[in-house]
Chains A and B, each alone.
Chain A
Amino acid sequence: MKINLNNREATFEVTDLTIAEVISTCNFTYKRLVVRLNGKVVRSEDHEITRVNDGDKLEVIHLMAGG
């Protein structure tokens, strides 16, 4: 499937991944993330149960300490 991930096209060999699977496939390793799927915030506890479908728009923002 093809999705828009952080403003870029990303292709996955399998269809029907969860957000948690996308995060681990893409090696997003930071502990704190902000995730939006099609503009809606998805909290960490829902990453395992939220499915990403072909054509979806996913944003994964890494949050790093410092400010």
Chain B
Amino acid sequence: MIQQIADYLRNFSVGIAGAGGLGSNCAIALARTGVGNIYIADFDIVEASNLNRQYFFLNQIGLPKVEALAQNLHQVNASINVVSFNERLTTDNIPEFFAQCNIIIEAFDKADQKQMLAECVLQKIPDATLIMGTGLAGYKTTPFQTSRFNKLIVCGDMENEVDELNPPMAPRVGIVAMMQANEALNILLKDFTLKK
């Protein structure tokens, strides 16, 4: 069954806006399951301080995140197509870069950037479903939730914002990234049927 799922997912495209804690971990999960085309955008480079939660390695420090992540995605699944965009996403380039995507994962860190992306995607790429992450800081055990709307899904604890006393840490960032990946699969596989 798992091979049939991977074969089925080969035809889909998922966009990932931001290759940090949410984006890098979500991308890896989607690559492992076989999503055929992954579009990643990020303007940043890998820094030592990212390694506490992001899917990068010591020998990748200094590389553009999109380049490092493409390497890592191909290490887990050599057959997928990765399209990288090593620039800041703006309302001008978002519609074009993600035009082919069935699903777009919002994986930014700053709230104003999340807002910019969400308003742009919902208005200008109406066929795509946007999956956002909100509320993942610290190490409290606040329950996670998922809210589902038309073409918009929001995953997170809806409460814990990153600040000086509440840093982003691997477990809760990872949980939200996996929730986003699972929501993506749930949409992509809605018409999947197992062949005997």
Binding site for B on A (CB under 8 A): 6-7, 30-34, 36, 39, 41, 43, 59, 61-67
Contact = CB atoms under 8 A, between A and B. Distances in A.
A66 to B, nearest CB: 4
A33 B160 CA distance: 15
A6 B154 CA distance: 11
Contact of B114 (A7, A32, A41, A43): A32
A39 B163 CA distance: 32
B116 to A, nearest CB: 10
Contacts, number: 86
B132 interface: yes
Nearest to A31: B111
A52 B23 CA distance: 35
A66 B123 contact: no
A43 B119 contact: yes
A63 B119 contact: no
B122 A36 contact: yes
B182 interface: no
B111 A61 contact: no
A32 B112 contact: yes
B112 A67 contact: no
Interface string B133-176: 11111000000000111101010101111110000100001000
Contact of B162 (A30, A33, A39, A65): A65
Interface in B102-128: 106-112, 114-115, 118-119, 122-123
Contact of B152 (A30, A36, A66): A36
Given A62-B134, A63-B134, A67-B109, A32 B115 contact: yes
A36 B111 contact: no
Question: Which of A41, A43, A61, A67 has the most CB atoms of chain B within a 10 A radius of its CB?
Answer: A67
